[in-house]
Amino acid sequence: MAASILRRSLLIPRCRAGDVAALHSGPSRRRAQAPEPIASGRRAGNCPAGERGVAPWVAVVGLEIHAQISSNSKLFSGSQVQFAAPPNSLVSFFDASLPGTLPALNRRCVEAAVMTGLALNCSINKKSLFDRKHYFYADLPAGYQITQQRLPVAVNGSLSYSLCVGGKKNQMVTRTVRIKQIQLEQDSGKSLHDDIRSQTLIDLNRAGVGLMEVVMEPDMSSGEEAAAAVRELQLILQTLGSSQAIMAEGQLRVDANVSVHHPGEAYGVRTEVKNINSARFLARAIDYEIQRQIKELENGGTVMNETRAFDYKLGCTIPMRDKEGKQDYRFMPEPNLPPLILYDTKSLPANTNHQQVVNIDWIRERLPDLPSVRRVKLVEQYGILPEHSFTLLNEDGLMEFFENVVRQTQMNPKKVIGWILNDMLGYLKQYNLKVKESPVSSLFLADLLNLLERGTISSSAANQVLEELWKGEGKTPLQIVKEKKLGLIQDQQELEQICQAVMEGHQEEVMEIKKGNQKVLNKLIGLVQRTTRGRADPVLVKQILEKRLSQ
């Protein structure tokens, strides 16, 4: 019934200049004029000083990350959680904050938070508390959010992540950021702005969806570090299944706190860049904000303690609201929820119904291998490079695809990885497809690599077969080889005649090789391959050419 009452989007007039802002999403939703983007070739982090000869600048970056918990229902109500459902179709009486409704804690959300805390090396509080955080937005019907401000479910953890040095994939360093806390809280609804009609529509489908807020200490100094940390956290959440963490769907949203200061001095005034939903945009937003603050300070200005938004089209941050006067959220204990009590094996009371409690040790024992462990196993098991293991895990489903191919082919995994990362991944990016959407199955690719490994086709012919497989016509690699006549030439006499003809048609190259320029030999091999349409064995061609050139 609540869903039918609220199915029509709530209509709230947009406040104009000079109007009293009543029931509106507040100044945080204002659109401000964007400043000119700062053109700077300097990298964030330890930034060089200006022309005044002062010490270089040091940037400080901390993150607050909201991850939507992967659950069928909301944190305190039984309403379904579904992306892109019709507006206000998934709203219970409690979500709409109707009088007399009470919260009922979702066990799945608690388990997801504990699982995430354990994976991030946190201490799990056996007793945690819920609080009300008061603020007034149109998409927050109750006028407060239920969160965990005083005593969160998990504290004092750490996250290790790796990033490339100087943009070189084969030079990676591992760094660690401290996790201050992980807390459970409700999401708000969504405000949909209609600029044409100067009005704001409210969709409460998201109101009450369970969130984990992961608060990272300010241990980073650049956008590149922050993006690497978020990508690693995203992989961990997806591995655990505690969150799908799809940033494009708003399931992982990042707020970045940024400041700059000179070494040895106190931290500078920080700004907060809100609601970034892409790792790439996060890096750009932080690096821009660092350079903006440095330019402001070097020109004699001051950095305001304010909230900003990142405009990805302009490539810059724009002001939303100032935070000079600290907002009073009037935190208070949530009177309708008792303390959240968790147990371990030692403290679990006898004869307890396991469906009614959350056992920390039970969850710990069932943790899957985390991405860092899986990378090590990939390197040790298949002999691939560490940077290749990162690519396999970063692309959803690519590691499973690689392992399926390895199981079904006789080719060395070190060779297989080249076909996966260079050819398969190249096609996927070219057609903007996910691994699971690939028209080339792991079985077909394995069959193709087996033909190559057995010497049935050459590598250039294998590329032609792969191109045909991408058309998705359902033909097997062997069928394509037979139809296109791509099999290697088995008649050595025929191959010798082709090599002789190529040499006779390219006497200048032959003379260069005889003078000692062996690099030109590769050109002759390529010409033979072109003549045979990739059907010649390059090793055999080289042997024939070398023999005839020495005569």
**3-state class of 538 per DSSP?**
helix
User: Does residue 9 carry a pLDDT above 80?
Assistant: no
The Cα 200–Cα 220 span in angstroms is 37
User: Tell me: the pLDDT tens digits for 149-195?
Assistant: 999 999 999 999 999 877 666 678 999 999 999 999 999 999 988 88
User: Tell me: the pLDDT tens digits for 203-236?
Assistant: 999 999 999 999 999 999 999 999 999 999 999 9
The Cα 275–Cα 244 span in angstroms is 17
Query: What is the DSSP secondary structure assignment for residue 537, as one 8-state letter?
Result: -
The Cα 245–Cα 247 span in angstroms is 6
**3-state class of 345 per DSSP?**
coil
User: Tell me: the pLDDT tens digits for 496-551?
Assistant: 888 888 888 888 888 888 878 888 888 888 888 888 877 887 888 888 888 888 87
With contact defined as beta carbons under 8 Å apart, do 298 and 52 qualify? Answer: yes
Pairing of strands 127-128, 340-341: antiparallel
The Cα 330–Cα 349 span in angstroms is 37
At 141 the pLDDT is 94
With contact defined as beta carbons under 8 Å apart, do 281 and 254 qualify? Answer: no
The predicted model gives 2-20 an average pLDDT of 38
**Averaged pLDDT score across all residues of the chain:** 87
At 459 the pLDDT is 87
At 76 the pLDDT is 98
* Surface-to-core class of residue 37, CB atoms within 10 Å of its CB (0-12 exposed, 13-18 middle, 19+ buried): middle
CA angle 217-219-275, nearest 5°? 60
User: Tell me: the pLDDT tens digits for 77-93?
Assistant: 999 999 999 999 999 99
Looking at per-residue confidence, does 481 or 43 come out higher? 481
**pTM value?**
0.83
Tokens coding 372: 């860092």
At 47 the pLDDT is 59
Give DSSP secondary structure letters for 319-364: EEEE-SS------EE-TTS--EE-B-TTTPPTT--GGGS-BHHHHH
Cβ neighbours of residue 533 under 8 Å, at least 6 residues apart? 461, 486
Looking at per-residue confidence, does 544 or 36 come out higher? 544
Quote the strand ranges of 207-291, DSSP E: 210-216, 252-261, 271-276
Tokens coding 269: 């005034």
The predicted model gives 33-37 an average pLDDT of 41
User: Tell me: the pLDDT tens digits for 250-301?
Assistant: 999 999 999 999 999 999 999 999 999 999 999 999 999 999 999 999 999 9
The Cα 475–Cα 11 span in angstroms is 55
User: Does residue 472 carry a pLDDT above 70?
Assistant: yes
At 15 the pLDDT is 36
> Residue 40 — pLDDT band, cuts 50, 70, 90?
very low
Single-letter code of the amino acid located at 454: R
At 281 the pLDDT is 96
The predicted model gives 472-493 an average pLDDT of 87
At 5 the pLDDT is 40
